[in-house]
Amino acid sequence: MDKAIIELLARQAGLDKALREFPDDVTAAAEQASGWVANMQAPSEPRAEPWPPMKPGTGL
């Protein structure tokens, strides 16, 4: 993830103080998050529902 984008997203999330005091931690967190998103496959079925399923009652 580009450094300028990380800074922009961090400021948008209100992390100005973290950016000032712990810039390496902010960058490391952003890169790790970006890696997890990249490793995730989107469902192939466009109508796939999210979990938890939209049903009341007994859990699961």
Partner 1 sequence: MSGLHWLTAAEAAEAIRARRVSPVELTQALLDRIERLDPKLNVFIRLDGAAAMEAAKAAEAEIAAGRPRGPLHGVPVGIKDIIDVAGLPTTCHSKILMDNIAAADAVCVARLRGAGAIVLGKLSTHEFAIGGPSFDLPWPPARNPWNTTHHPGGSSSGSGSGVAAGLFPMALGSDTGGSVRNPASACGIVGLKPTYGLVSRRGVFPLSFTLDHVGPLTRTVHDNALMLDAIAGHDQLDPSSAAVPPGHYAAGLERSVRGLRIGFVRHFHETDLPADPEVAAGLENVAATLHKLGADIWDIRLPALDEFGAVNRVILQSEAWAVHALWLRERPGDYGQLARRRLLGGAFISAGDYVQASRRRLEMIAAVENALQEVDVLLCASAMDPPSPIEDAAETERTYPRQARTPFNVTGHPALAMMAGLSSAGLPLSVQFVARYFAEAMLFQVARAWERAAGTDERHPPID
Question: Count residues contacting partner 1 (CB under 8 A)?
Answer: 38
Interior CA angle at 40 toward 28 and 34, to 5°?
A: 20
Count of Cβ atoms closer than 10 Å to residue 5 Cβ: 11
Q: Is the CB of residue 28 less than 8 Å from the CB of residue 6? A: no
Is residue 4 a contact point for partner 1 (CB under 8 A)? no
Binding pattern to partner 1, positions 9-48, x when CB under 8 A?
xx--xxxxxx--xx--xx-xxx-xxx-xxxxxxxx----x
Could you list the residues that contact partner 1 (CB under 8 A)? 1, 6, 9-10, 13-18, 21-22, 25-26, 28-30, 32-34, 36-43, 48-53, 57-60
